[in-house]
Amino acid sequence: MSVISVRLKEAEMQKIQELSLLEQKEKSAVARELINHGWEYFMIKRYRQGKLSLGALAQRLNVPVSDVIDLLAELGVEAPIEFEDYLKGLNVLRTL
């Protein structure tokens, strides 16, 4: 495991402390979880913008595509494709 030193503002440290107390976890564990959640948020945002495919999102989150689909549904995130693109994909699938 690597070690990194980060300077935090007082407000940021208070958030980590509060979450640490709420979750009854060490501050370092809380900080790692927040980094992971931030990564997920950033990658999902890129997916919504059409900058990542579903497969690429799954790869970046290191989970199966089915888990990503469940996560997106849970968060209410819709696929960033137009209906015409969906129909084109459906036609390609039918020709296979």
- The model's pLDDT over 44-62, given as tens digits with 9 standing for 90+, comes to 999 999 899 999 999 999 9
What is the distance in angstroms between the CA of the first residue and the CA of the last residue of the chain? 46
pTM attached to this predicted model: 0.76
Q: How far from 12 is each of 7, 27, 34, 46, CA to CA, in Å? A: 10, 12, 11, 25
pLDDT over 70, % of the chain: 99
9-30 mean pLDDT: 97
What residues contact 17, with CB distance under 8 A and at least 6 apart?
27
Give residue 82's pLDDT. Answer: 73
24: left (phi over 0), alpha (psi -120 to 50) or beta: left
